[in-house]
Structure 1
Amino acid sequence: MDTIKIANAPCSWGALEFDLDAKAPDHLQVLQEIRETGYVGTELGDWGFMPTDPLALRAVVSRYGLDMIGAFVPVALADGTAHEQGVADALRVAGLLAAAGYRDAFIVLADDNGTVAERTNHAGRVTPDMGLDDRRWETFANGAMRIARAVHDRYGMRTVFHHHCAGYVETPDELENLLSLTDAELLGLCFDTGHYAFGGGDPLEGITKYRDRIWHVHFKDYDPHVGEQSRVKNWDYFESVRQGVFCELGKGSVDFANILDVLENIGYQGWIVVEQDVLPGMGAPKECARNNRVYLQQLGI
């Protein structure tokens, strides 16, 4: 599987898009530790986490021998009034990446996760009545397409959608609905194994089902015992993360060996981004990153 390259991302160090009290390490520490633990790429992190001047961004990422492969852009897509700002935010990020020479990087589009109380409080156990009606699904899909089209038309760059717990596209049915409403030529899928599992799906089944739509992959493991505790104790999304619902690779229920077989069989030649979402100040990110890289090496990549 020589064509697949392995990256990590700032979220594994607690650098998240959410407005949280604790402080994450700075980008220099994160980039250095990504490289020291055996990865060759990174995602951008939230706007402002890394330099927003393209020359400075290129210089610091290159200093650590890394490639920049994507940037997470959250937009409240179910709210039509948020679309214009969403386009502007995506174009700002895409413009930075393009000017820094990273035109092959993806805009990783997602819902504005963690902002709707009902979805955040019931992450991992949402029911259909907590979802969107047909009108809002149309709004959501139109917003995603509008952003993907703007990024492509302005910079020739590609957009993938990231399904994510604590947002409106969490469950397998919700992901299926969004993909059925959007253009497969314009909007790809960032398949996240951990979020798919926490959202109630089987990641091996999902990655097999959407093999033709997947342009980008996030490897994240899921601890079903923590997931069950989340259901029993009614934890919200952030408490579930704090309790370790996304564990080190190989310590949860995700069947990475067979998922890699699927990726090899379809000739996947993109990136795998290891993400072990933690809250700021939580755990030992560098140690976990190293353990995750060793685990993947044991699987042959």
Structure 2
Amino acid sequence: MENKIKIANAPCSWGALEFELEGKSLGYEQVLNELVETGYAGTELGDWGFMPTEPGALHDEIAKRNISLLGAFVPVALSNESAHEEGVEKALKVAGLMYDGGYTNAFIVLADENGTVEYRTKNAGRTNGHGSLNDSQMKIFGAGAEKVAKAVKDRYEMRTVFHHHCAGYIETPEEIDAFLQITNPQLVGLCFDTGHYMFGGGTNPVEILEKYWDRVWHVHFKDFSSEVAALSAKNNWDYFQSIQHGVFCQLGKGDVDFESIIQFLKNKNYNGWIVVEQDVLPGMGNPKQCAENNRRYLQSKGL
């Protein structure tokens, strides 16, 4: 049977991250060209302003490379009720750009405003349940996610997936559970990220994929190095220092059991996208070579 899973990459693999960081990421033309040259069929949008913000121009850049645009990462401080309305506006602006550009099936990849809460950023990967939201705070967080998702669905009929993420309030398996239990499964899907799940304390990605399969609408493939995580704990590195030292390593070099995950996805007849992400900070390493190595790795596993 023909494999229906499609493989994409994202601008974060070239250093275009959502955070205010020193150093400059590569321009979108180079990122898209290298993404195509290394064998990927789609991309996510990247930060607002990274790619063209005029729908026709955006469509031209994506279409002329014969790839798909499948989603956009939208961080919102969901634990802060007063930030919800601004989050809705931000999500609608991004959704509108993709919709008007012709990408009506693209996702809003909603996340916490990761990297902004000091304790969570300093202790990413080792919160051990400390600094978590209490029940009432989680309700506010979940209500914010639903508000964003409903606004996007009502205006554009586009779907929203929530991305659990280290250095944010939904990092650990327990926090993912709590979030999914209080949000509407018809409204808010899950963007399951293998690397963030394991850095956040998860041990068996297939287990959580099975548990929440009906919520998994989008998948990110990221590898995770337990060796770097151990050094991070020993040296008290924050989230960004952990990335700098390669906690999210090349696919196949870390601890994520991709073979089992791929087999699971195939058994479930998953026909969506897998987005490869190997987060680097601006100026780090050789993103094109890493993208090529990651694509070859997945080809060796039948994708």
> Which category describes the TM-score, using the shorter chain as reference length?
over 0.9
- 1:298 is aligned to 2:300: yes
The equivalent of 1:241 in structure 2 is 243
Q: Distance in 1 between matches of 2:133 and 2:66?
A: 43
Give 3-state SS (helix, strand or coil) of 1:129's partner: coil
Give 3-state SS (helix, strand or coil) of 1:160's partner: strand
2:254 aligns with one of 245, 252, 255:
252
1:280 aligns with one of 252, 266, 282:
282
The equivalent of 2:208 in structure 1 is 206
1:17-28 correspondence runs (5 A): 17-28=18-29
Q: CA deviation at 1:127?
A: 2.7
TM-score by length of 1: 0.99
% identical equivalent positions? 60
Q: Distance in 2 between matches of 1:138 and 1:280?
A: 35
1:27-66 correspondence runs (5 A): 27-66=28-67
1:42-191 correspondence runs (5 A): 42-191=43-192
Q: Distance in 2 between matches of 1:255 and 1:206?
A: 13
Using the TM superposition, name which of 31-40 and 199-208 deviates more.
199-208
2:228 aligns with one of 211, 226, 229:
226
Give 3-state SS (helix, strand or coil) of 1:130's partner: coil
Q: CA deviation at 1:128?
A: 2.1
- 1:253 corresponds to which letter in structure 2? D
Show structure 2 runs of 5+ residues with no match: none
Using the TM superposition, name which of 221-230 and 209-218 deviates more.
209-218
- 1:59 corresponds to which letter in structure 2? D
2:263 aligns with one of 253, 261, 264:
261
Q: CA deviation at 1:205?
A: 2.2
Q: How many residue pairs are counted as aligned between the two chains?
A: 301
Give 3-state SS (helix, strand or coil) of 1:272's partner: strand
- Which 4+ stretches in 1 moved above 3 angstroms? none
Q: CA deviation at 1:213?
A: 1.1
- 2:232 corresponds to which letter in structure 1? S
Q: CA deviation at 1:209?
A: 2.1
Give 3-state SS (helix, strand or coil) of 2:220's partner: strand
Q: Distance in 1 between matches of 2:41 and 2:275?
A: 10
TM-score by length of 2: 0.98
Q: Distance in 2 between matches of 1:205 and 1:64?
A: 37
Q: CA deviation at 1:129?
A: 3.0
Q: Distance in 2 between matches of 1:289 and 1:115?
A: 28
The equivalent of 1:8 in structure 2 is 9
Cα RMSD after superposing both structures: 0.7
After superposition, the C-alpha distances for 1:56-75 in whole angstroms (9 at most, x for unaligned) are 00001112221100000000
Using the TM superposition, name which of 187-196 and 57-66 deviates more.
57-66
Q: Distance in 1 between matches of 2:290 and 2:151?
A: 37
After superposition, the C-alpha distances for 1:133-186 in whole angstroms (9 at most, x for unaligned) are 111111000000000000000000000000000000000000000000001111
